[in-house]
């Protein structure tokens, strides 16, 4: 073994894969009985560098890392992309193993949603705006599955990404309100060299769409520059985003929001919020993309 640890092939061989929830719970319980700290990274597969950055952070904060792959039907609307969502399972397994995942849990739909399953988790208010308004029922699906995943794995640490800021906020609130015994950590958004946030849906973009999709991050950079220069008007901050999109005909706005990062309520004068979330959603061609950044007054 090299000083840097086991090589890639050894790590791949060491990663265990299970499907049944009871098997996943048994493996993690055995580790925890041995006093090992467990971190969890839930995914829907189509693994990219954003997911792998979460695995690396999990690896640094725990003795064992669990990842899951589950394309959750409950969080897709009737006209969304559940059927065509990318599922490169063999590639995903290799990437997660090479990144240092110890246990990969791949539940089946029937494992989590057996016949007659009716329970849903909803956070009043916070789940009904921004992405919740654009995708009704989406966050009920997210929170329901995350709660079930957490109940099975029962990790010490849960790692989420900042790109899905509203989702991370809702999971944090669910954990707090239900007093779940897990620490939730957020990792920064991972970006392509031109600034586009890494996303499984980027694979849908044509070459021309991919070029114009970078306008999402350029718009956010323009908004950040306005805030750094002392801009007080939330409307003008949002206007900076739209100005960056104006010459990109394939980019069609869904929303540009400047909100309080704790309440998701619209901010008019940015001085009134200690922490702002500037969040955007747009369709580039037929592909819907989201991005955001948080801004704190110093």
Which domains can be identified in the chain, with CATH numbers?
Answer: 8-187 (3.40.50.620), 200-296 (3.30.1300.10)
pLDDT (0 to 100) of residue 272: 84
Q: Can 51 be counted among the known catalytic residues?
A: yes
- For 264, the token pair is 């998701």
Bridge pairing between strands 103-105 and 16-18: parallel
pLDDT (0 to 100) of residue 9: 47
- Residues 48, 51, 117, 138: which is the catalytic one? 51
**Interacting residues of 180 by C-beta distance below 8 A, sequence separation 6+:** 147, 150, 174
CB 45 within 8 A of CB 173: no
pLDDT (0 to 100) of residue 80: 92
* Overall pTM > 0.85: yes
pLDDT (0 to 100) of residue 28: 98
**Interacting residues of 232 by C-beta distance below 8 A, sequence separation 6+:** 269, 270, 271
Query: C-alpha angle 291/168/121, rounded to 5°?
Result: 125
pLDDT (0 to 100) of residue 271: 83
The distance in angstroms from the start CA to the end CA of the chain is 47
DSSP for 236-297 reads HHHHHHHHHHTT-TTEEEEEEEEEETTT-PBPSBGGG-SEEEEEEEEEETTEEEEEEEEEE-
Tens of pLDDT along the chain (298 residues)? 333 444 444 455 589 999 999 999 999 999 999 999 999 999 999 999 999 999 999 999 999 999 999 999 999 998 899 999 999 999 999 999 999 999 999 999 999 999 999 999 999 999 999 999 999 999 999 999 999 999 999 999 999 999 999 999 999 999 999 999 999 999 999 999 999 999 999 999 999 999 999 999 999 999 999 999 999 999 999 999 999 999 999 999 999 999 999 999 999 888 888 899 999 999 999 999 999 999 997 6
**Interacting residues of 223 by C-beta distance below 8 A, sequence separation 6+:** 237, 238, 240, 241, 258, 278, 293
CB 88 within 8 A of CB 80: no
Residue-wise pLDDT tens digits, 254-267: 999 999 999 999 99
């Amino acid at each position: 073994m090299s000083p840097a640890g086991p090589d890639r092939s050894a790590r791949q061989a060491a990663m265990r894969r299970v499907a049944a929830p009871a098997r996943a719970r048994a493996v993690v319980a055995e580790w925890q009985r041995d006093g090992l700290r467990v971190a969890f990274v839930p995914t829907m597969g189509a693994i990219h560098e954003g997911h792998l950055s979460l695995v690396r952070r999990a690896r640094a904060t725990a003795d064992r890392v669990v990842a899951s792959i589950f394309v959750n039907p409950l969080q897709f609307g009737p006209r969304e992309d559940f059927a065509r969502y990318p599922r490169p399972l063999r590639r995903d397994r290799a990437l997660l193993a090479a990144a240092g995942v110890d246990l990969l849990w791949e539940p089946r739909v029937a494992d989590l949603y057996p016949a007659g399953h009716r329970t849903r988790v909803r956070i009043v208010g916070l789940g009904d705006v921004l992405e919740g308004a654009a995708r009704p029922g989406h966050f009920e699906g997210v929170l329901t599955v995350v709660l079930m995943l957490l109940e099975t794995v029962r990790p010490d640490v849960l790692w989420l990404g900042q790109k899905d800021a509203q989702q991370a906020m809702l999971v944090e609130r669910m954990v707090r309100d239900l007093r779940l015994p897990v620490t939730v950590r957020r990792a920064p958004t991972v970006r392509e060299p031109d600034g586009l946030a890494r996303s499984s849906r980027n694979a849908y973009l044509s070459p021309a769409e991919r070029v114009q999709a970078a306008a999402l991050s350029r718009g956010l950079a323009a908004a950040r520059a306005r805030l750094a220069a002392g801009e007080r008007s939330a409307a003008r901050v949002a206007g900076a985003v739209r100005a960056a999109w104006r010459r990109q005909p394939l980019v069609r706005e869904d929303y540009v929001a400047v909100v309080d990062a704790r309440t998701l309520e619209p901010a008019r004068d940015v001085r009134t919020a200690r922490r702002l979330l500037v969040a955007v959603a747009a369709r580039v061609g037929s592909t819907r993309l989201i991005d955001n950044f948080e801004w704190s007054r110093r």
